[in-house]
Structure 1
């Protein structure tokens, strides 16, 4: 199963049409690769802020409030793009307001069925809680099935909490984790990448990270963001010794493409040099204390 993750460079887009054309051109780059799934980064939607009139004079709260009028168009655009390109798309996350509460949401869109479901960020960072009042809706993780893949999504900071996916890896046989990400500088980038690689090790699964980079001013939420996209496997039989299937260089605009062998993953889970997936059931299926 071939999958792709965007390393997305934010630009000062002036109109909604320019933004749409940028997305179309981005997906045109995948035409020869024909991946089954494409992952876009956390807060990639915030590029739309730059289409707002006088955005520099607006507070971050007002910028987010203004974005709500584009939600329907945002979703319908990605549904059309998914259908036209015949590819499953995990959208850039979008700050959505429901019942006067703010959530950070990404949608899973199928080329045949349209919008299947959504995943909210489960664990807002201290900055998100204190600066924009991002809430935790306590919505459980969704599991999406595409061919052999049982797919879960952890939005950026969520990937630093192993307990969030243990049940899904074991009870629902999740074998692919998607991590849309937006991080400030090297420390944040390192935390998310280390977390993603640790989840691949602990659960003997594939983990795909999509990152955003922004070096333009005018939207506090994404300013100074820096990162790289990567795909990880368990460092075990049949996979690279460092567990890295693919990665981009920091701050370049690109796609990473990875061809995932789920049969080999199943073999590692049952016959690998180590058996993290099975042994966690055998030894740690009850509370230690």
Structure 2
């Protein structure tokens, strides 16, 4: 399949009354996107932090909220796997802090296939908040997921602002870069959006941004959330395989509104632009002074 609909969530952080309330919320969101014809559903960075509200003893504690959410990840992942399997779609779950040992917590995004199979991309570069206040540790290595929709890669929020990370994914054949984000100011949102659009330009690929939105004053981690979902491509066209809108904006949501934003992706456009676009940024990358070899991305089958 080269042409499909992607759904990017502008996802609100809610205070949940129970686990069943979370199941109902996530199921409702997934069913809505599936009904609209989406084959790939993208949720934001740290959207899973709403699960900390299930434990009143830790919901207002920054460190305690990590352990609450991390402990629930097996249940969360089982739910996503079931929804992906039931509806025959790919789902990028909202990222979550995952405790690996007593001293190590990573920000993990998990991608689920229609078979229920799961693969993970950890965030690589930590923001100041993650480093200085939350003690989150960066992961290692870029992965490219070989799926029925094409090759997908994930750059979690701040990672999208670093060109070489996306370049490794592009060299691994990525057609689409997924950017789950969580920003508490419009400045932060625009940094990630500008990074996303720059990565689309450089990599001649699609980039899908999904943010958290709204306010959750009870949470020390995700209390304020600003942003809009978007689907971006390089502003270019090719005689074979078509092209993108002149401004590169395939779809864009209204900032701050809880909703899905839908865009149509055609990976044939990516192949066409990389071969015969008005510019060939992928092919000409190595002509930059200082453009050196990158560690190869890990190719992960996910069907």
- Runs of 4 or more, structure 1, over 2 Å off, are 31-34, 53-56, 66-69, 281-288
1: CA distance, partners of 2:246 / 2:270: 14
Whether contact under 8 Å (1:42, 1:92) holds in the other structure is yes
Displacement after TM superposition at 1:146 (Å)? 2.1
TM-score, scaled relative to structure 1: 0.93
Instruction: Using the TM superposition, give the Cα deviation of residue 260 of structure 1 relative to its aligned residue in structure 2, in angstroms.
Output: 1.1
- Pairing of 1:26-65 with structure 2 (within 5 A): 26-55=29-58, 58-65=60-67
Q: In 2, Cα distance between the equivalents of 1:19 and 1:113?
A: 19
Structure 2: distance between partners of 1:119 and 1:215? 27
Unpaired runs of at least 5, structure 2 = 238-242, 294-303
What do residues 170-222 of structure 1 show as CA deviations (whole Å, max 9, x unaligned)?
2x221210000000111000000000000000111100001001312111111
Q: Which residue of 2 aligns with 1:90?
A: 92
Number of aligned positions between the proteins: 284
Q: Which residue does 2:300 correspond to in 1?
A: none
Give the match for residue 151 of structure 1: 152
Q: Is the 8 A contact 1:214 1:222 kept in 2?
A: no
Is the 2:144–2:173 contact (alpha carbons within 8 Å) kept by the matching residues of 1?
Answer: no
Counterparts of 1:158 and 1:168, CA distance in 2: 12
Whole-angstrom CA distance in 2 between matches of 1:175 and 1:69: 33
- Is residue 42–residue 180 contact of structure 1 (8 Å, CA) maintained in 2? yes
Please report how far the alpha carbon of residue 287 of structure 1 lies from its aligned counterpart in structure 2 after TM superposition. Answer: 4.4
Corresponding residue SS for 1:165:
helix
The two structures have a TM-score, normalised by structure 2, of: 0.89
The Cα shift of 1:83 comes to 0.9
The residue number in structure 1 matching 2:283 is 278
Paired position in structure 1 for 2:249? 244
Contact 1:211–1:227 (CA under 8 A) maintained in structure 2: yes
Which has more strand, going by share of residues?
Answer: 2
Determine the structure 2 residue equivalent to 1:175. Answer: 175
Once the two structures are TM-superposed, the CA of residue 286 in structure 1 deviates from its matched residue by 4.9
* 1:91-106 mapped onto 2 (5 Å cutoff): 91-100=93-102, 101-106=104-109
Aligned to 1:160: 161
The Cα of 1:4 is off from its aligned counterpart by 1.3
RMSD of aligned alpha carbons: 1.7
Q: 1:266 to 1:62 in 2, by over 3 A?
A: same
* Aligned counterparts of 1:228 and 1:286: Cα–Cα separation in 2: 32
Contact map agreement 2:17 2:54 (CA 8 A) in 1: yes
1:16 aligns with 2:19: yes
Aligned to 1:126: 128
1:55: Cα distance to partner?
A: 4.3
In structure 2, C-alpha distance between the alignment counterparts of 1:284 and 1:33, rounded to whole Å: 46
1:65 CA displacement: 1.5
SS at match of 2:193: helix
